Chains A and B, each alone.
Chain A
Amino acid sequence: MNGPVNFYKTREIIRHDVEVSVPNNMYKMKNIHDKKTKEGPLVNHVSPFQDSVNISMQVNQFLKKLEDQPEINGLEERLRNIIRELDEIRDDMSKLKAAVTGHEPVVVPELNDMIVNANPSFPPYAILALQKLCAPVVNLVVGTHTHSSIPSLTPEAENLAQKLREFVPLADLPKISLRLIWKNVGPACELLATQLPICGEANVLRYFARVLPGLFIYENSDNVTDLDAALDIAYCLVQAKTKTERASHLQSLSKKLGKSQFLCAHAEITIADIAACSAIKQVAQNEVNQTMGKWLVRCEQ
C-alpha cells in the first residue's frame, strides 16, 4: 500500500485542442490588443495637434487673399438680386391668382351629406346659383330624390333637377354633397345641416355665406342690413298668398334695385339677388316690370 496511488480518470468534457474554423464571410479585423505589432490601430491613431492648427491657418490666409478680389463680391450681389426677383414673382403670382378667382382663398369646411327638403311647386333655384358660384372653389354635388309624399314632380322641379345633375365637378377641388329631396313641405324649403332645419331659401343662403366665408357677398359688404332686408323680402314674397301682397313685395325689391346693377347698389351679385331672383321665378315670374326683368337676366348669368 506504500506505492503511489493512481488518481481515477475522468471523461474529457471539453476539448481544447480542436481547431476552430472561423467563418470567412466576414471581413477580417486587426487584433487591437495584439501589442507585438507596431502597426496596430491604437498606435498613432491621433494625429499630432500641431498639424490641424497649421491647416486652419493656411485656409484663413487663403481666404484673406481672396477677399480683396472683385469677382467674389459680384457673385454675392448677384445671388441677392436673384432672391429678391423670386420674391417679387411670387407676390405677382398670388395677386394674379386672387384676381382670377375674384376672392380671397376660401377655407372649405367638412360638410357631410346635407339635405334640402323642397316643395316641387317652389323649386329652390338658389341651389343652382350656389352651385355655379361655388364652382371655382368647391364642387357642390347635388343628388335629387323624390319623397313618397309627392306623387309626381312638376315640370319646373324636373327641370331644376336636370340642371343640377348636369354639373360637372372638377377633380382637384374639395366636395360638398347635398341631397335635394322633393317633399310635401311648405313654400319655404328646409336645410338639414344639423338636427334642426333651417327654413327658407334666404336663410339657407345666409348659412352657406357663413360656412364658406369670402365666397359670396353678404356679411363682408358695407350694407349688411340692407342685404338682410332684401333677403327678408324674398322670404316673404314666397310666402305671400295674394297677388296684391306679392305686388307690394315686388315693389320694395324694385326700390332696393333702383338703377344699380344688382340689389342694394352692388355692382356684383349678392346672396340677396340670388334669393330674390329665385323667389320671383317661383311665384311671380310674370309680375315683374322691365327693369327687374333685365336684372333677372343679369342674375341668370
Chain B
Amino acid sequence: MVETKPAEVSEKGDSKKGAKKEARKAEKEARKSERKVQETVDNASPEEDVSVGKYGNLGLIQSGSLSPSRSFTDVRSLNRNLAGKDVWIRARLHTVRARGKQCFMVLRQREFTVQALVNVSETISKAMVKFCSNISKESIVDLEGSVVDLGKKGVAGCTQGEIELLVSQVWVVSVAASQLPLQIEDASRPEKSDDAESLRIRVNQDTRLDNRILDLRTPANQAIFRLEAGVCRLFRDTLTVRGFVEIHTPKIISAASEGGANVFEVSYFKGSAYLAQSPQLYKQMAIAADFDKVFTVGAVFRAEDSNTHRHLTEFTGLDLEMAFHYHYHEVMLTIGDMFNAIFKGLRDEYAVEIAAVGNQFSVEPFTFLDPPLVLRYNEGRALLAEAGVEIGPEDDLSTPAEKLLGRLVKAKYDTDFYILDKYPLAVRPFYTMPDPENSLLSNSYDMFMRGEEVMSGAQRVHDPQLLTERAKHHGIDVSKIAAYIDSFKYGCSPHAGGGIGLERVVMLYLGLDNIRKTAMFPRDPKRLTP
C-alpha cells in the first residue's frame, strides 16, 4: 500500500507527465528488445551476410597461380560515357566517411579522384558498409562498381566529379598504417596566399621531405615529376633529331674539373678521387674525338655549402657540346631552339600537369618568344642603367641585378626566357674564347628563365697555345691542367656548349619557390636522407 502512494500522488499532481514518461520508457524497452533481436540475428547467423565474398582483405598478392584476371579501368578515364557499366579500379582510399547505411569513399589514383558509394541494399550488407568505413586511409583497394551519371549535380572536390561509382565489391590489397605522419589533404592544400578563407594548415618543407613518399602522392607532386620526366625526354628528343649523340661521362674523376674548392672527395682504393662537378672536359674530349654534337644526362655534384632556394649538392645535369663552322651563334641559337622546343612541348603536351601544379601553387604561365630573344650584355646593362642600376662594363651581374633585368625584359618583351650574349671576358673562366673585335668581351652567353640563370655557356678555346696563355693569365698552374690542354693538341673543331640543371629548369618553368620541390629526393648540405 505504501508503495502505491507515490504513484497516486504523482498521478494526482502530474498525471500527464507520468503518462508520457511511461510511454517513453516503453518505447525504449521496445527499441532495446528490437535491437537485441537484430543483434542476435547478426551475431547468430553471420552466414546470412548477403555480401560475403564481396569484400574483405585480399591477402598478400604473391602472384599465385589462382590470381584472378580482371581488366582495370583508370580513374582518369571514368566519365559519363561509361554510365551504367561495371568497372574495376585499383586505387588508394583517399578519404572515407560513413553515414548510417551509406559509406562514401573517395578513391585516388595519382592526381585523379572519384567518389564511390557503398549503400546497404539487397546485395550489400551492413557489415560490408562497416568494413568499408574502417579501411585505413591510403590503403590500396580493388573495387568494383557501376558508373552512375550524376548529371549537373556532380561531386565537388573530385576530378571525376560528373560520375560516382556504386560499389559492388571491395577488396583491400595493401593496408596502410592508421597513423599517417602527414595528411595528403594537408599536403595538397592550395598555397595561394590570396585565399583568406582557406584553412591555414600546411605541412612544412622538412616534414614533407622526411616523409617524401607520402608527400609525393599529392597531385601537384605527381604532376611536377611527370613534367620533369617530360623536360628530360624533350631534351633528348629535340637534340637527337638535330643529330646529337648521347654520351655518358665518368662521375669519379682524378682531379677537380673547375677550380677545386667545391668538389667532394671520395676514397678510391688506396688513394682518393673526386666526384665530377661538370661533365665539361669529357664533352669537349668527345668533340676532339670527332663526335661533333654530343649531349649527356647525368648526376653532377657540387660541394657548395649554400643553403639557398636554388642550390643542391647533387642534381641532374643536362649538358651539350657542339662543333660549329664559323660562328658560335650557330651553337647558341641551337640551344635557344632546344629550349623553345622544350617549352613548346611542355605547353602542348603537359597542360594537365601544369594545371595540377597550378591548383596548389600560384603559377603564372611561362612565356617565351620564338625565336628566342637575344640581348647583348651591354644592352642588358643599358636596360638596367635606365632603371637606375649601374653595372660596370667588366662587372658580372649580381643576383638581384639578374632578377631585376628579368623583370625589365618581361615587362618590355613579355618573355620569361632570354639569352644574354657577349659577357665581359674578365668574369668568365679561362677556357672562354675572347671576342676578336673587343678585347673586353668574350664569346659567351647566359640563358635566363624568370630572371634566374639556367645555363652558362661559351665558345671554348680549342687552341692549346691560346689556352695555355689564358690559363696563365688567370693564374692557373698549367701543369695541373696539362691533360685538358693536351686534348686539343691533335686538332680540334671549334666548339661551344653549355649545361642546365634539370631541377632548376623545372622549378623556374613552373615558377616554384624552392628547388627541393622539383628534386625527388633532394640532397643539400643538411639532408642526406631519405
Contacts and interface: CB of A to CB of B under 8 A. Distances in A.
Interface string B11-46: 000000000000000000000000000000000000
B369 A147 contact: yes
A111 to B, nearest CB: 14
A149 B367 CA distance: 7
Interface in A153-208: 179, 181, 183, 192, 195
Interface in B381-419: 411-415
A115 interface: yes
Given A115-B413, A183-B414, A192-B412, A148 B369 contact: yes
Contacts of A192: 412
Nearest to A195: B411
Contacts of A183: 414
Nearest to A150: B370
Contacts of B371: 145
Interface centre among A145, A179, A192 (most CB of B within 10 A): A145
Given A148-B369, A179-B413, A195-B411, 19 more contacts: A113-B379, A115-B412, A115-B413, A145-B370, A146-B369, A146-B370, A147-B367, A147-B370, A147-B415, A148-B343, A148-B344, A148-B366, A148-B367, A148-B368, A149-B367, A151-B348, A181-B369, A181-B414, A192-B412
A146 B347 CA distance: 14
Contact of B413 (A146, A151, A181): A181
12 contacts: A115-B412, A115-B413, A145-B369, A145-B370, A146-B370, A148-B365, A148-B366, A148-B367, A148-B415, A151-B348, A181-B414, A183-B414
B373 interface: yes
Contacts, number: 36
A74 B366 CA distance: 84
Interface in B254-289: none
B443 to A, nearest CB: 21
A90 B366 CA distance: 60
Interface centre among A117, A147, A151, A179 (most CB of B within 10 A): A147
Contact of A145 (B373, B379, B411): B373
Q: Secondary structure at chain A's binding surface: helix, strand, loop or mixed? A: strand
Nearest to A113: B379
Contacts of A148: 343-344, 347, 365-370, 415
Interface in A45-99: none
Contact of B414 (A113, A147, A151): A147
Contacts of B412: 115, 192
Q: Looking at chain A, what size class is its interface with the partner chain?
A: 10 to 19
Nearest to B368: A148
Interface string A96-135: 0000000000000000010101000000000000000000
Interface string B123-167: 000000000000000000000000000000000000000000000
Interface of A: 113, 115, 117, 145-149, 151, 179, 181, 183, 192, 195
A34 B373 CA distance: 83
Nearest to B379: A113
Contacts of B411: 195
B339 to A, nearest CB: 12
Interface string B318-360: 0000000000000000000000000110011000000000000
A183 B177 CA distance: 52
Among all A-B residue pairs, the 9 with the closest Cβ atoms: A145-B369, A146-B370, A148-B368, A148-B367, A147-B369, A145-B370, A145-B371, A148-B347, A181-B369
Contacts of A195: 411
A192 B412 CA distance: 8
A290 B498 CA distance: 59
Contacts of A147: 367-370, 414-415
A162 B201 CA distance: 55
Nearest to A151: B348
A19 to B, nearest CB: 54
A249 B5 CA distance: 106
Contacts of B347: 148, 151
A149 B365 CA distance: 10
A148 B365 CA distance: 10
Nearest to B370: A146
Interface centre among A113, A147, A148, A151 (most CB of B within 10 A): A148
Contacts of A145: 369-371, 373
Nearest to B347: A148
A113 B373 CA distance: 12
Nearest to A143: B371
Contacts of B370: 145-148
Nearest to A149: B367
Nearest to B417: A148
Contacts of A151: 347-348
Nearest to B372: A145
A151 B347 CA distance: 9
B144 to A, nearest CB: 41
A115 B409 CA distance: 12
B146 to A, nearest CB: 39
A146 B372 CA distance: 9
A183 B370 CA distance: 11
A145 B368 CA distance: 9
A113 to B, nearest CB: 8
Nearest to B383: A113
A113 B348 CA distance: 30
A117 B369 CA distance: 12
Nearest to B374: A143
A146 B369 CA distance: 5
Interface centre among A115, A117, A146, A183 (most CB of B within 10 A): A146
Contacts of B373: 145
Nearest to B411: A195
